[in-house]
A and B are shown apart, each in its own frame.
Chain A
Amino acid sequence: MADVNLTLRESKAPAGQAGTAAMPGKAPFRFPAGLGGALPALVLVTLFFVVPVVALLLRSVTEPEPGLQNYATLFGDGTYARIFLNTFLVASVVTAVTIVVAFPVAWMLAIMPPALGSIVFGVIILSMWTNLLTRTYAWMVLLQRTGVINRTLISLGIIDEPLPLINNLTGVTIGMVYIMLPFMILPLVGTLRAIDPMTLRAAALCGASPFAAFRRILLPLSLPGVAAGGLMVFVMSLGYFVTPALLGGTSNMMLAEMIAQMIQSLLNWGLGSAAAFVLLAVTMALYALQLRLVGARRVGGGA
């Protein structure tokens, strides 16, 4: 089934079927008729999400005194601007690298015999369930100056000096791409599986080289999956804390680290809240953009 059939199927599908594939949390808001059943969840979300967010917003404009001075500092000061820039840079690099790494894996999963595919799928999911800190520390062991990678490369005579793989952008990118991969692969596999391999055979017979078939057929048809996964990875990367803190350097701090520092060490709740609120606003804006571009169902379903 190629993409047409997909669209047909989706438009015919009952409303409840929309967010089936992955990430139920990202399904668009849509209240079914029986609202009563959703009431406990609604109360929970209101109490523990809406209220704190509003409190945060209030703090950012009231502390230390009422006014927008926190936002002025945030956008006016060069230090904070650099942190913003670095955050977007890291998130962009991580998203780009994740897409490039995830695409071949997803394609392989999509065309693999199902039995083998489910094993590979299991490995990917399992890595997702392994504790985040454990995985990040494992990368520290691998990447440090006297780590496995550097020692192997030196003993093979490929390099003389250890490569700076940690406490910089390289380390953060490697560690975060690894963690983000499943979030990219899952929606992408869904999209790729919906593409009829016969379509690619037809493209080949029409004279399209493998690269032309990829660029003109496979890539455009997989764009909804790339967009869904890419947005998720980008948004998650923007607010990421653990991996940048452990694998990144002090010179390229990310927004989440800054917020933690503001609130934990400097006790500057006003500035911290403002930064958190900017992060939230950017995330929401990106999500809204994607809704407009690809349509709510695709964002939710990924396929």
Chain B
Amino acid sequence: MTQPFLAIRAIRKTFGSVVAVHDVTVDIPKGEFLTFLGPSGSGKSTTLYAIAGFQDPTSGDVLLEGASLLSVPPHKRNIGMVFQRYTLFPHLTVAENVAFPLRVRRRPDAEVKRKVGDMLALVRLEGFADRRPGALSGGQQQRVALARALAYDPPILLMDEPLSALDKKLREEIQAEIRRIHRETGVTILYVTHDQEEALHLSDRIALFRDGRIEQIGSGEDLYLRPATDFVAGFIGNSNFLPAECLETADGAATIRLADGSVVSGVRANHDFGRGQKARLMVRPEAFRLTPDHACAGLAVEFVDTAFFGERRRVVARTASGQEIDIRPTSDMADAHRGGASGGRRVFFDPAAAFLFPA
């Protein structure tokens, strides 16, 4: 078995009687961008802090190229980190901030100078070397923090919600920068966020945390298109959950009856469901169509409301049983719904894009 680059082994952290992290285990290959995604209090930051060395785990181990990190004090771990808050040293200039990790390592002046130049070029802040952090915007400060964290070529870069203090537009701008920097440096990145869009945009793989456990780990596509649980389905993207009753399961597919009595076969099911068991069928808003194509399941609905978001529209529809569902109209629907918010119609979905979860 080849040894993983970074191995998180059964990390467990308890605060008194509260278990913050339950035996989290992940292997991270070199150069990967892995995101810990999850709601607040799900244990993602605690796991990251165990790697950084700020909170010793109650049990478990963190291995970098086979060697345990836990007995190494933070300042000898040689890990880069960008924090949620701005943690630049306010009494030092931008260049001195970036040089700081090199100075404490007593690198020669010429190397420090060259490296600081390279790093400021990497984050595109060449003209800001002599400014103080206080004279920079939040986005610029986080870019300096990134340069400082990468200046000593750490094998791992930890990022703890680094964009959460920035506004949406700036966030997207810096996300693009982070992607570029990851591409250019090839550094292994562990990124913590509660923002699923950010996670999808940035990561090679996402580990979705829930109550101190990893609910599912995989690429963004895996989590979006093949959610392991209804929590994953609900957390990544928007989902509609329709009440259903299972009639039959076989080979990961199920036949179900919806609340309006219609029978749909071929929906995907990860679990075995007993005959007659209550279940919930997840359908993504964008999976709905106005016209039936191959092997589509139909649903009688009434359009209630429609909202315009620029690049997309959102339609709220009501099923026969009174449940409101979200629909992301495709272009063929865009005109059709203008017929007014009244009147019944049918929407269709591909059963192969619908997932059955236990109720």
Q: Does B192 contact A (CB under 8 A)?
A: no
Query: Min CB distance, B299 to chain A, in Å?
Result: 51
Taken residue by residue from 185 to 207, chain A's Cβ proximity to chain B (1 for < 8 Å, 0 otherwise) reads as: 00000000000101101111111
Closest residue of B by beta carbon distance from A215? B104
Residue B100 at the chain A interface, CB threshold 8 Å = yes
Question: With the chains together, A6 CA to B76 CA distance in Å?
Answer: 30
Q: Is A3 interfacial (CB 8 A cutoff)?
A: yes
Is A220 interfacial (CB 8 A cutoff)? yes
Query: B83 touching A198 by the CB < 8 A rule?
Result: yes
Decide: A3 and B91 in contact? CB cutoff 8 A. yes
Q: How far is the CB of A1 from chain B (nearest CB, A)?
A: 9
Which residue of chain A has the shortest Cβ distance to B105 in the bound complex? A207
A219 → B minimal CB distance (Å): 10
A4 to B133, CA, bound (A): 7
Q: Which of A5, A201, A205, A209 contacts B134 (CB 8 A)?
A: A5
A217 and B74 contact, Cβ closer than 8 Å, known pairs A202-B81, A205-B79, A205-B81: no
- Cα distance A6–B83 when bound, in Å? 19
Kindly supply a per-residue 1/0 record for chain B positions 72-100, scoring 1 wherever the CB is within 8 Å of any chain A CB and 0 otherwise: 01111111110101111111000000001
* Mask: chain A, 1-19; 1 = CB below 8 Å from B; 0 = not: 0111111100000000000
Q: Does A61 contact B (CB under 8 A)?
A: no
Given A198-B85, A207-B101, A212-B104, A7 and B134 touching (CB < 8 A)?
yes
Q: Is the CB of B75 within 8 A of A204?
A: yes
How far apart sit A5 and B165, CA to CA, in the bound complex (Å)? 15
Does B231 touch A at the CB level, under 8 Å? no
Query: Which residues of chain A are near B145, meaning CB under 8 Å?
Result: 202
Contact, CB under 8 Å: B104 / A208: yes
B134 touching A8 by the CB < 8 A rule? yes
Known: A198-B83, A205-B77. A216 touches B100 (CB 8 A): yes
Chain A nearest Cβ from B125, distance in angstroms: 16
Q: Quick check: is B33 within 8 A (CB to CB) of the other chain?
A: no
Q: By the criterion CB–CB under 8 Å, are A204 and B89 in contact?
A: no
CA distance A205 to B73 in the complex (A): 9
What is the CA–CA distance of A141 and B329 in the complex, to the nearest angstrom?
A: 89
Q: Of the candidates A8, A202, A220, which one forms a contact with B91 in the assembled complex, judged by CB atoms under 8 Å apart?
A: A220
A245 within 8 A of B: no
User: Which of B87, B105, B132 has a CB less than 8 Å from the CB of A202?
Assistant: B87
Contact between A207 and B104 (Cβ–Cβ < 8 Å)? Answer: yes
Cβ distance B85 to chain A, nearest Cβ, rounded Å? 6
Instruction: Return chain B residues, CB-CB under 8 Å to A3.
Output: 90-91
The CA of A6 and the CA of B105, in the complex, are separated in Å by: 29
Contacts of B86 in A (CB 8 A): 2
Size range of the chain B interface in the assembly: 20 to 34
Whether, in the assembled complex, B152 has its beta carbon less than 8 Å from a beta carbon of chain A, the answer is yes
Query: Which residues of A lie under 8 Å from residue B132 when comparing CB positions?
Result: 4
**A221-B81 contact given A7-B134, A206-B104, A207-B152, CB 8 Å threshold:** no
Contacts of B76 in A (CB 8 A): 207
Q: Considering the complex, give the chain B residue whose CB is closest to the CB of A209.
A: B75
Chain A hits for B85, CB < 8 A:
196, 198
Q: B157: shortest Cβ distance to chain A, in Å?
A: 10
Interface string of A78-108 (1 = CB under 8 A from B): 0000000000000000000000000000000
Interface residues of B in 40-62 (CB under 8 A from A): 52-54
| Binary contact readout B246-267 vs A (1 if CB under 8 angstroms, 0 otherwise) | 0000000000000000000000
CA distance A210 to B133 in the complex (A): 23
B52 touches A205 (CB 8 A): yes
Cβ of B205 < 8 Å from any Cβ of A? Answer: no
Q: Shortest beta-carbon distance, A161 to chain B, in Å?
A: 45
Determine the chain B residues whose CB is within 8 A of the CB of A216 once the complex forms: 89, 100, 103-104
Cβ of B328 under 8 Å from chain A: no
Contact present for B152 and A196 (CB under 8 Å): no
How far is A217 from B104 in the complex, measured between Cα atoms in Å? 12
Query: Does B148 belong to the interface (CB within 8 Å)?
Result: yes
Q: Shortest Cβ distance from B83 into chain A, in angstroms?
A: 6
Q: Which residue of A lies closest to B76 (CB)?
A: A207
- If A7-B134, A8-B134, A207-B78 touch, whether A201 touches B104 (CB-CB below 8 Å) is no
Which single member of A8, A198, A209 contacts B87 (CB below 8 Å)?
A: A198
Measured between alpha carbons, how far is A203 from B90 in the docked complex, in Å?
A: 12
Q: Which of A4, A204, A206, A212 has the most CB of B within 10 A?
A: A206
* A271 nearest CB across to chain B (Å): 46
User: Would you give the shortest CB distance from A91 to chain B, in whole angstroms?
Assistant: 28
On whether the beta carbons of B134 and A4 are closer than 8 Å, the reply is yes
A212 to chain B, nearest CB (A): 5
> Distance in Å from the Cβ of A242 to the closest Cβ of chain B?
39
- Give the 5 A-B CB pairs with smallest separation, nearest first: A4-B134, A4-B90, A3-B90, A206-B101, A202-B87
Chain B contacts to A: CB under 8 angstroms? 52-54, 73-81, 83, 85-91, 100-101, 103-105, 132-134, 145, 148-149, 152
A-B contact pairs, 29 of them (CB 8 A): A2-B86, A2-B87, A3-B90, A4-B88, A4-B134, A7-B90, A8-B134, A196-B85, A196-B87, A198-B83, A199-B87, A201-B87, A202-B83, A204-B53, A204-B74, A205-B74, A205-B75, A205-B79, A206-B101, A206-B149, A207-B78, A207-B104, A207-B152, A209-B104, A212-B104, A216-B89, A216-B103, A216-B104, A221-B89
* Contacts A198-B85, A205-B149, A220-B91 supplied; 11 other A-B pairs, CB < 8 Å: A201-B54, A202-B81, A204-B75, A205-B79, A206-B104, A206-B152, A207-B76, A207-B78, A207-B105, A212-B75, A221-B91
